Amino acid sequence: MGFEPTVTCATTVFKTVAFNRSAIPPSGGDFTITECHCEGEAEAISSTHNDTIGQTWYNLRAMNRKYHVWTEGCQMNVADSQRVGSALERLGYEFTGTAEDADVIVLNTCVVRQSAEDKAYGRLSSIKPLKAKNPGLVVNLMGCLVGIRNDEKLRARFPYVDVFSPPSDPGPLVAFLTQGEARAHESARTSNLSAVMDGEILLPERERGRLVSAHVPVVLGCSHACTYCVIPSKRGAERSRPAAEILTEVRALAAQGVKEVTLLGQIVDRYGKDIPDGPSLAGLLKLLDQVDGLERIRFLTSHPNYFTDELMDAVASLPKVMPHIEIPIQAGDDEVLKNMRRGYTQADYRKIVEKIRAHIPGSSIATDIIVGFPGETEAQFMETHRVLDDLRLDSAHLARYSPRPGTVSERNMADDVPAEEKMRRFRVLENLQEKIVGEINAGLLGQKVEILFEEKVKGRWRGRTPTNKLVFVESEDDLHGKVLPVTVTWTGPWSMQARL
């Protein structure tokens, strides 16, 4: 029986969304929104609704969800199954002794004898009709069968198995079930950053003593006037805050326990251009790098035309400045870029990415892309696809074009790409980028990385690498605000798992 909780849609106008729990698919994915009046601009609508309110559907999805564990073998397997059950119950799942009633089925296998292995294969076969009847059922194959068999052979033989876990490791299953949550966290983070830059929310004073990472606006407004953007009319002309004022604020934040600051601006690398005797962004970074107690510094969003060699050198040389660059392309076709009034070409963007990678080895690069801009043809869209495929960037914030009142594109350009086609293009790029990021993150498996731990969520500590990748670690220790080396044990496109 469905009910209708009320949640907030994470767009710039914060309207109310109502939806039915009964419409939520068993394994997440899209659900039916019964009421929404979002008017967010293109940059703010960086995901579909199931992403922006994904945290809510994840929590609702776990309510009354059930798991079933089948265990074969020794006491170690019994203990491992207990660990899996504990992990699932922390996520809100309840145990059921009947596989047919379960939303998650775990098969914890043994191969010490052929009979035990045969039982495992027989049990796998018995689950196949359940999966066919309920595609949302999550099937987890765990234990020695996975430990001694080649994963690719098992995946080929049992394509209906969703997660393969080695003995004693519930991590892959937990990661699989929480990818939607991780993705929702990333989406909400993107929306909140946009809101801070637009002046729509302020850092809450009461939280400053608890925050690990804080946002500090350094450039207010914008004078670039892209044809789709409403910021210049809403926030006025570009103004840089005085360096002394920023320095005072960051020192105060550090004194209250903040370990990381992210400097914000619509075009953050234009910082200081309106203050003749003030520092550039590179100079500001050098000042902030000296703040006691501060561990990390980030900045966003950059523009290809203003990302200078001086700034690259600052990122490469200053120990507290993280090697993560947010530099949007918005579109891959030169005519579309001209209509957007971005001021560069595809070739220009490729050159700046090449320079960043040469100056800052090991850096990560994120971009923004708008699909369905007025007049964008299929061929022009495929240019964007080609750029994304070629450059293999670490993150791409995707948006479907939405005309904003008073902008040049809203006044003078027909919104002529159908909504269905915008969504199709969005999904094509989303699928491409998910594959790329999955492959990039897989390269970190087994590697040591340093994590700044921010908070504990559902029994796991959450933090970020210097390149801004989300990592979860299970630990009973208090890791809040600490920077520690970890070893990556599992990777996915939206997050990774690691151990201390």
Write out pLDDT tens, residues 406-436: 899 999 999 999 999 999 999 999 999 999 9
| Dihedral sign computed on CA atoms, order 273, 275, 280, 285 | negative
pLDDT in the model for residue 202: 39
Q: Exposed e or buried b for every residue in 276-295, given b needs 16+ CB within 10 A? A: eebbbbbbbbeebeebeebb
Do 71 and 136 share a domain, yes or no?
yes
Phi-psi domain of 181 (left: phi exceeds 0; alpha: psi -120 through 50; beta: other): alpha
| In-domain check, residue 218 | yes
Mean pLDDT of all residues in 73-90: 75
| In-domain check, residue 174 | no
Percent of the chain having pLDDT more than 90?
Answer: 55
| In-domain check, residue 36 | yes
pLDDT at 193 over 90: no
pLDDT at 79 over 70: no
Between 74 and 145, the higher pLDDT residue: 145
| In-domain check, residue 214 | yes
Do 272 and 303 share a domain, yes or no?
yes
Do 42 and 134 share a domain, yes or no?
no
Do 318 and 375 share a domain, yes or no?
yes
Do 469 and 328 share a domain, yes or no?
no
Do 196 and 286 share a domain, yes or no?
yes
Do 230 and 326 share a domain, yes or no?
yes
pLDDT bin (cut points 50, 70, 90) of residue 180 is low
* Domain closes at, from 398, 418, 442: 442
Structurally, the chain folds into a number of domains equal to 4
245-253: long-range contacts at Cβ-Cβ below 8 A with a sequence spacing of 24 or more?
246/216, 246/218, 246/284, 246/288, 247/287, 247/288, 247/291, 249/216, 250/216, 250/288, 250/291, 250/294, 251/291, 251/292, 253/208, 253/211, 253/214, 253/216
| In-domain check, residue 489 | yes
Q: CA 29, CA 232: separation in Å to the nearest integer? A: 36
| In-domain check, residue 320 | yes
Do 30 and 109 share a domain, yes or no?
no
| In-domain check, residue 1 | no
Do 199 and 315 share a domain, yes or no?
yes
Do 28 and 85 share a domain, yes or no?
no
Mean pLDDT lowest among 155-159, 333-337, 430-434, 439-443: 155-159
Do 11 and 29 share a domain, yes or no?
yes
Contact 26, 103 (CB under 8 A): yes
pLDDT bin (cut points 50, 70, 90) of residue 186 is low
* Domain closes at, from 43, 62, 81: 62
Determine the structural domain holding residue 10 and report its residue range: 6-62
Between 333 and 73, the higher pLDDT residue: 333
Do 308 and 368 share a domain, yes or no?
yes
Between 43 and 339, the higher pLDDT residue: 339
| In-domain check, residue 285 | yes
